[in-house]
Amino acid sequence: MDKIEFYKMSGSGNDFIIIDNRRNSIDETGLSDLIARVCRRKMAVGADGFILVENADMADFKWRFFNSDGSIAEMCGNGARCVARFAHLNGIAGPNMSFETLAGIVEAQIIGNRVKVKMTDPTEFKTDDTLDLKNGPVTISSINTGVPHVVIVKERIDNADIVEMGREIRFHERFSPAGTNVNVVCHMADNTIAIRTYERGVEDETLACGTGSAAGAIVMAHKMKIGSPINVQTKSGGYLSIFYREKEGRYYDIYLEGDARIIYKAQLWEDAWKE
């Protein structure tokens, strides 16, 4: 392939490589390997995720979202905000837009350098379940906010071993074969919670996770009766706002709002994906 133009963007500390692929310029041969290589930190650009913007029939555009290991993910809240701003800046969509994802049609609104996206309604919501781990049983909640998440409520999260515990839960037989993302949350004050997330596909803690923040907020809204909107402090120190509606224990009209920062625009050279 020739040199590939891309944007590097960040949403609350989650970083992404975004490419306009509406002319099908990206070679599909060995695509997952290419993605894993350019997402390597220090060896290439480095990113938590890789996004291709493509033509759509039922929306302004569609995306294909990949984790940093080259695997496909259905949805990413922080990536959705970044791709929406990318599309608006490049004349692909207006300030109010919709785009196709594997989790369904996502709506987004540009508000300066912040973006508000309407998430898919959560499914498979279960609370106060017990999961047996090597260090003993742990109480979990589980919910799908576009991708599956486990949420664990703690009094404090700064001392949580999110990588070791997250990896054990992510690969637990209960969630096989697809696996799950894992979050620990705590209540800070009023409508504010803090969260840390182990992301499937990145296989490490990330500085933020949009779908994880939505999952954590809904679990805390249910358990602690925290009203909308809920402010979520991420590992990066930034905040995401989760808006929701609830009726008889069903949560819907979930919106995620936060920053979508342009880090730089550049070209990928072949050296970036060479072995």
Place of tokens 């697809």: 178
**Residue 209 designated active-site:** yes
HSE-CB at 110 with a 13 A cutoff on CA atoms is 18
Q: Which residues contact 43 (CB under 8 A, 6 or more apart)?
A: 37
C-alpha gyration radius of the chain: 18
Q: How far apart are CA 76 and CA 90, in angstroms?
A: 21
Tokens of 39: 């997402």
Q: Which residue in 39, 76, 82, 186 is the catalytic one? A: 76
Best CA proximity match to 71, nearest among 139, 169, 170, 140: 170
Interior CA angle at 239 toward 216 and 187, to 5°?
45
**Residue 82 designated active-site:** no
H helices then E strands: how many in the chain?
4, 17
Residues annotated as part of the active site: 76, 209
